[in-house]
Amino acid sequence: MKLILAGGGTGGHLFPALAIAEALKKEDPSSEVLFVGTKRGIEAKVIPQTEFSIKFVSARGIIRTGIINSIRAGVEIPIGIIQSLKIINNFKPDFVLGVGGYASAPTLMAALIFNIQSGVQEQNSVMGAANRMLSKFVNDIFISWENTTPRTPSEKTFLVGNPVRKTLFETGSVPIDNDKFKILIFGGSRGANSLNLGIIEHLDQLKTIAPKVKIVHQTGSDLLDKVRDAYHEAGVNAEVKEFINDMGAYYSWADLVVCRAGASSLAEITAVGKPAIVVPFPFATDDHQTKNALWLERQHAVKMVKDVDLNQGSLISEIRKLLEAPSELKLMAENARRLGRPDAARAIVLHILKSQRLAA
Q: Which of 176, 166, 3, 30 is nearest to 96 (CA)?
A: 3
The reply to whether 261 and 324 lie within a common domain is yes
194 and 313 in one domain? yes
Q: Are residues 175 and 295 in the same domain?
A: yes
Predicted local distance difference test score (pLDDT) of residue 65: 53
The pLDDT assigned to 267 comes to 96
Would strands 140-143 and 157-159 be described as parallel, antiparallel, or unpaired? parallel
Judgement on whether residues 193 and 242 belong to the same structural domain of the protein: yes
209 and 320 co-located in one domain: yes
- Global pTM reads 0.89
Calculate helix-pair angle for 314-323, 193-200, nearest 10 degrees.
Answer: 70
CA atoms within 13 A on the CB side of 48: 8
Q: Are residues 223 and 150 in the same domain?
A: no
pLDDT at 61: 60
For residues 49 and 96, membership in a common domain is answered with yes
Q: What pLDDT sits at residue 201?
A: 95
Encode the chain (360 residues) as per-residue pLDDT tens digits. Answer: 999 999 998 888 999 999 999 999 999 999 999 999 999 899 999 999 999 999 999 976 655 555 665 556 556 788 999 999 999 999 999 999 999 988 999 999 999 999 999 999 999 988 988 899 899 999 999 999 988 999 999 999 999 999 999 888 877 778 777 789 999 999 865 558 999 999 999 999 998 899 999 999 999 888 999 999 999 999 999 999 998 888 899 999 999 999 999 999 999 999 999 999 999 999 888 898 999 999 999 999 999 999 999 999 999 999 999 999 999 999 999 999 999 999 999 999 999 999 988 876
Same domain, 321 and 332: yes
Number of domains composing the chain: 2
Residues 234 and 306 in one domain: yes
* Full strand arrangement of the beta sheet holding 140-143: 53-56, 32-37, 2-6, 95-98, 117-122, 140-143, 157-159
| Residues 104 and 120 reside in one and the same domain | yes
Q: How many CB atoms lie within 10 A of CB 14?
A: 25
62 and 173 in a single domain? The answer is no
CA 69 to chain CA mean position, Å:
26
The boundaries of the domain holding residue 332 are: 168-339
Helical segments of 254-324, H only: 263-272, 288-298, 314-323
| Residue 321 shares a structural domain with residue 346 | no
Q: What is the CATH number of the domain that holds 93?
A: 3.40.50.2000
